[in-house]
Amino acid sequence: MSIDQLISGYKSFRQDYYLERPEFYKNLVKNGQSPETMIIACSDSRVSPSTMSQADPGEIFMVRNVANLVPPYDKNSIHHGTNACIEFAVRDLGVRNIIVLGHSHCGGIKRLCDRSENEVKREFIDSWVSIAEKASDTNLEGDDKYRYVERRAIEISLKNLLTFPWLKKKCEAGDLELHGCLFDLESGKLFTRGVDNDWTAIT
């Protein structure tokens, strides 16, 4: 999408959406945001959580990064954008659900799986995707490996969320629920993770 297309899209949004709902936006300004759900999604341009969920502005608090990963809790780290978003969502906004949303054909996961074969190193990506290093421990190969690791990486991020003490406390009190989902680009199906790490398509 070019800059001209972005501007054209904005003009349509303002005319056909924003100006048609003045009270809705006045309420968002006056009362602030109070989303019930946070989504941790991949930065991949092919996956749009807002479009998939048909959510209105103010309904979802979202953070996007490469491969929808959550680092483990580390209060000594000074530059953790994802963790800062998690803290704000849980401690300030009081969200009741956190969804880690992955997708098939994820470039970040492919990078994790193929790092030993990549001659070109990256300054930030390689260390970032190593968060899910354990997910790549499999004898599977090719596409089967990628599909497997995409799911396992979500499970690792869900476990990492529970390393945040104040987040874990809310989960134990029943005030917060964690969910894992994966969007399949080829079929358009959304898969959800069960308590036994089984994945089921929403029909």
pLDDT tens-place string over residues 75-98: 887 768 999 999 999 999 999 999
Q: What is the fold of 33-201?
A: Beta-carbonic Anhydrase; Chain A (3.40.1050)
Structure-model confidence comparison of residues 77 and 116, the more confident one:
77
At residue 123 the predicted structure's pLDDT band, cuts being 50, 70 and 90, is: confident
Q: Which tens digit of pLDDT belongs to each residue from 52-69?
A: 999 999 999 999 999 999
Residue 75's SS3 state is: coil
Is residue 42 flagged as an active site residue?
Answer: yes
Say how far apart CA 78 and CA 75 lie, in whole Å: 8
CA dist 130 and 77 (Å) reads 16
pTM: 0.93
Neighbours of 27 (CB within 10 A): 12
Q: With contact defined as beta carbons under 8 Å apart, do 170 and 176 qualify? A: yes
Options 21, 46, 91, 122, the catalytic residue? 46
Q: Which of 16, 74, 96, 103 is catalytic?
A: 103
**Band of residue 203 on the pLDDT scale cut at 50, 70, 90:** confident
For residue 76, the model assigns a pLDDT of 81
Domains of the chain, residue spans: 1-32, 33-201
Q: Sort residue 185 into left (φ over 0), alpha (ψ -120 to 50) or beta.
A: alpha
Residue 131 has a pLDDT of 95
For 133-174, the pLDDT digits (tens) are 999 999 999 999 999 999 999 999 999 999 999 999 999 999
* Residue in 14, 106, 179, 184 annotated catalytic: 106
Whether residue 106 lies in the annotated active site: yes
Average pLDDT, the chain: 93
Q: What is the mean pLDDT of residues 115-130?
A: 82
Residue 46 among the catalytic residues: yes
Q: Which helix (H) or strand (E) holds 160?
A: helix 142-161
